[in-house]
Amino acid sequence: MKKRLRSTTMGLLAASAILSGCATLGLRDFSEITRQNNARIMTLQRGMTPEQVIEHIGLSNNFRVPNPVRSEMYPAGDDIFRAFFFYSGTGLVASILDSDLTPVVFKNESLDGWGWLYWESTAKQYNIRIRNR
């Protein structure tokens, strides 16, 4: 029993040392931004303007993760799509990937939908080429 307890304790100490070393490997904690962005994205309403969305979600107080992280525009026939990408990842990252972002998409300057399922299906419907996440 003592042997098992000792090996469990040693395992926990090793895991703790590895995880604490992650801070020195360049991982940054953006979990507060994730929490705020996810909560605000869930309360968006279709029809909002880009300015209203920016005001609703708010600016980030972290210069490494601006709100939005980036934006892109896509012409599609008579329509123009604009996508804002907000950080909504796990919180601990070395670099921000597309999979860490949530797209918020406007059609002709009116909020049409958000999330990767929405954006990928809309892009397919309008034959818009977007980056793979």
Instruction: Give the tens place of pLDDT for each residue, 56-105.
Output: 999 888 888 899 999 999 999 999 999 999 999 987 778 889 999 999 99
- pLDDT of 21 > 50? The answer is no
Tell me the pLDDT band of 128, cut-offs 50, 70 and 90.
very high
Please identify which residue in the block is written with the tokens 């419907």. 125
Q: Domains of the chain, with CATH numbers?
A: 28-125 (3.30.1450)
- Those residues whose C-beta lies under 8 Å from the C-beta of residue 63, and which sit 6 or more positions away, are none
Helices (H) and strands (E) in the chain, counts: 4, 6
Strand order of the sheet with strand 79-87? 70-76, 79-87, 101-107, 110-114
Instruction: Give the tens place of pLDDT for each residue, 25-68.
Output: 567 788 899 999 999 999 999 999 999 999 999 988 888 889 99
